[in-house]
Amino acid sequence: MTAALEVRQLRKSFGGIAVTQGVSLTVQPGERRLIIGPNGAGKTTLFNQIAGDIESDSGSIRIFGEDVTRLPVRRRAHLGVSRTYQVITLFPKDTLLHNVVLGILGVDGRRFQPLRALSAERELHAQAQGVLDSVGLGARAEALAGEISYGEQRRAEIAVAMAQKPRLLLLDEPLAGLSKDERVIVRDLIAGIPRATTIVMIEHDMDSALAFAEQISLLHYGELIVEGDRETVVAHPRTREVYLGA
């Protein structure tokens, strides 16, 4: 079986400080992978390398068997890579519907057709409305992104990412800053994403995240130090050392 994501000996340094140090991991199609580690472990840098937001110093990245190591973000998006960020990246003065339409156009050839027919516009809006419905925000479609609650913004970001029909979805701390009730809503939303989409998630809310994860990778100072299923990683002495100082 061709892996959904295959990372080999990935390295990145900033000003002489190594942030990812020879990271290798393999994620199978349909898998739910959790990446954990304390602040400064290199988790978001690793995501940025996978998505193409930053260029790796060395190593390789394959998405469904295709080498994307030197491809720009837009090319990886067309191969089925989509992501969310720690910081909300919605356009705050646009409606939720327009934000999702822009997400669709990011991987849709119609963005190069400025004189496209009105029927195409209606199709895009109907598609975007359906995506918002799927995350429980259908009734908020005409609300401005900057005027909805933080929890709704998190769901809207997932909607924008899912609008691109990703094969590989990277979620960077989707539960961060949410109330208990909001975490339940977003966690259930993520759990309901079809297995046609492989998910790799960074998260600090361990109680919620562990329920999601099938395989876990623990990063510490840019190195992958523990990997395995939930029971293996939680029980590993290095995990206790990193998180509890034991």
Summarised one tens digit per residue, pLDDT across range 51-83 is 999 999 999 999 999 999 999 999 999 999 999
Which three-class secondary structure state does DSSP give residue 40?
coil
Q: What's the token pair of residue 155?
A: 């769901």
Q: What pLDDT was estimated at residue 118?
A: 44
Q: What pLDDT was estimated at residue 34?
A: 95
CB atoms near residue 128 (< 10 Å) = 25
Domain ranges of the chain: 1-80+166-180+194-246, 90-164
Summarised one tens digit per residue, pLDDT across range 85-122 is 999 999 999 999 999 999 998 887 555 455 455 456 78
Q: How far apart are CA 204 and CA 246, in angstroms?
A: 19
Residues 6+ apart with CB under 8 A from 162: 82, 131, 134, 135, 169, 193, 197
Residue whose C-alpha is closest to residue 159's, from 138, 132, 192: 132
Strands 168-172, 58-63: pairing kind: unpaired
* C-beta of residue 135 within 8 angstroms of C-beta of residue 128: no
Q: Taking residues 4-18, what's their average pLDDT?
A: 95
Residue 22 clears pLDDT 90, i.e. is over it? yes
Q: What pLDDT was estimated at residue 117?
A: 53
Q: What pLDDT was estimated at residue 142?
A: 96
Strands 198-202, 215-220: pairing kind: unpaired
Q: How far is CA 107 from the centre of its chain?
A: 16
Q: How far apart are CA 224 and CA 218, in angstroms?
A: 6
Summarised one tens digit per residue, pLDDT across range 157-210 is 999 999 999 999 999 999 999 998 999 999 999 999 999 999 999 987 677 778
Residue 15 clears pLDDT 80, i.e. is over it? yes
Which three-class secondary structure state does DSSP give residue 21?
strand
Burial of 54 (C-beta count, 10 Å sphere; 0-12/13-18/19+):
middle
Q: What pLDDT was estimated at residue 45?
A: 96
Token look-up 């998260």 returns: 203
Summarised one tens digit per residue, pLDDT across range 208-222 is 778 888 999 999 999
Q: How far apart are CA 246 and CA 239, in angstroms?
A: 9
Per DSSP, the residues of 124-144 read: HHHHHHHHHHHTT-GGGTTSB
Q: What pLDDT was estimated at residue 106?
A: 82
Question: Any idea what the Cα angle at residue 245 is, between residues 240 and 246, rounded to 5°?
Answer: 60
The single-letter code of the amino acid at 45 is: T
* C-beta of residue 141 within 8 angstroms of C-beta of residue 126: no
Superfamily of domain 1-80+166-180+194-246: P-loop containing nucleotide triphosphate hydrolases (3.40.50.300)
The more confident residue out of 212 and 151 is 151
